């Protein structure tokens, strides 16, 4: 699927109330329902906006919500609906402020070889940056990125926010309106894939918001 400029909701809210948009809305609702079932007792409620669904959760360790966004693009024989999943992780009492920062996953030309997080913006000390990269490059995180056919992970933070913003883009859950024959297609996630998404966001949340714990452990050793 084609490149779109990175911004929080991109063009989802700009979609016209057309027949095709309504078909995409139906698929996005179906996608949200699949994640609700997979979340079981963790699911609380849902918020709906144009080509956007936000699911709120309880009793995960870090994950409070997932926002599913369909960013659309016109192709020659189709309209593609590229799935972006957003979540926000509030900083905790175990967090030591690091200033504005950005991490993004770099994907190699060879599939699943040496994919890793890189730091794209950082003002704090280099030792803390390396500790973040070490936690984010946890093999458990990389494994889930590969298994979920994810092609972008971007993490941003600003001190004024009080949270980290995590954006994940995946082929799993994306859709397309095909003109000939006219049909709306969805890459439907399996239940175990939904669980892996939950695990991925939990692992990323753990890597981000507890940065002072490691320092305390070093001081007491």
More confident residue, 68 or 11: 68
DSSP letter for each residue of 194-217: HHHHHHHHHHHHHHHH-HHHHHHH
Q: Tell whether 23 is covered by a domain.
A: yes
Distance CA 53, CA 186 (A): 16
DSSP letter for each residue of 113-159: SS-EEEEEEE-S-HHHHHHHHHHHT-HHHHHHHHHTTEEEEEEEE-T
Strand, helix or coil at 166? Answer: strand
Q: Categorize the per-residue pLDDT at 13 as very low, low, confident or very high, splitting at 50, 70 and 90.
A: low
Residues 6+ apart with CB under 8 A from 38: 191, 194, 195, 198
Q: What is the pLDDT of residues 98-140, one digit of tens each?
A: 999 999 999 987 777 789 999 999 998 999 999 999 999 999 9
Q: Tell whether 3 is covered by a domain.
A: no
Q: Tell whether 135 is covered by a domain.
A: yes
φ and ψ of 128, to 5 deg: -65, -40
Distance CA 88, CA 163 (A): 6
Q: Tell whether 190 is covered by a domain.
A: yes
Least confident of 9-18, 35-44, 51-60, 183-192: 9-18
Q: Categorize the per-residue pLDDT at 37 as very low, low, confident or very high, splitting at 50, 70 and 90.
A: very high
Burial string for 44-65 (b: 16+ CB within 10 Å, else e) reads eebeeebbbbbbebeeeebbbb
- Residue 155 in tokens: 């993490």
Q: What is the pLDDT of residues 159-198, one digit of tens each?
A: 999 999 999 999 999 999 998 888 999 999 999 999 999 9
- What is the domain extent for residue 47? 12-220
DSSP letter for each residue of 97-117: ---SEEEEEEPPSSTTSS-EE
Residue 14: per-residue pLDDT: 62
Q: Tell whether 6 is covered by a domain.
A: no
Residue 214: per-residue pLDDT: 56
Q: Tell whether 175 is covered by a domain.
A: yes
φ and ψ of 152, to 5 deg: -160, 135
Q: Residue 152 pairs with which residues in a beta bridge?
A: 169
> Count of domains in the chain?
1
Q: What is the mean pLDDT of the chain?
A: 89
Q: Are strands 183-186 and 78-90 parallel, antiparallel or unpaired?
A: unpaired
pTM over cut 0.75: yes
Q: Tell whether 7 is covered by a domain.
A: no
Q: Tell whether 2 is covered by a domain.
A: no
């Amino acid at each position: 699927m084609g490149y779109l400029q990175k911004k929080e909701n991109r063009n989802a809210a700009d979609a016209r109330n057309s027949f095709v948009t309504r078909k995409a809305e139906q698929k996005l609702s179906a996608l949200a329902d699949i994640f609700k079932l997979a979340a079981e007792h963790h699911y609380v409620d849902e918020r709906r906006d144009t080509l956007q669904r936000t699911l709120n959760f309880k009793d995960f360790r870090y994950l409070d919500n997932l926002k599913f966004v369909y960013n659309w693009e016109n192709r020659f024989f189709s309209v593609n609906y590229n799935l972006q999943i957003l979540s926000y992780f509030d900083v905790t009492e175990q967090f030591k402020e690091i200033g504005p920062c950005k991490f993004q996953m770099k994907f190699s030309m060879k599939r699943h070889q040496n994919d890793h997080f890189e730091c794209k913006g950082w003002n704090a000390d280099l030792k803390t940056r390396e500790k973040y990269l070490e936690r984010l490059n946890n093999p458990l995180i990389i494994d889930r990125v590969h298994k979920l056919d994810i092609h972008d992970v971007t993490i941003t933070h600003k001190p004024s926010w009080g949270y980290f913003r995590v954006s994940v883009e995946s082929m799993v859950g994306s859709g397309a309106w095909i003109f000939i024959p006219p049909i709306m297609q969805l890459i439907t996630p399996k239940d175990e894939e939904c669980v892996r998404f939950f695990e991925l966001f939990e692992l990323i949340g753990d890597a981000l918001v507890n940065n002072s714990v490691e320092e305390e452990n070093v001081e007491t050793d």
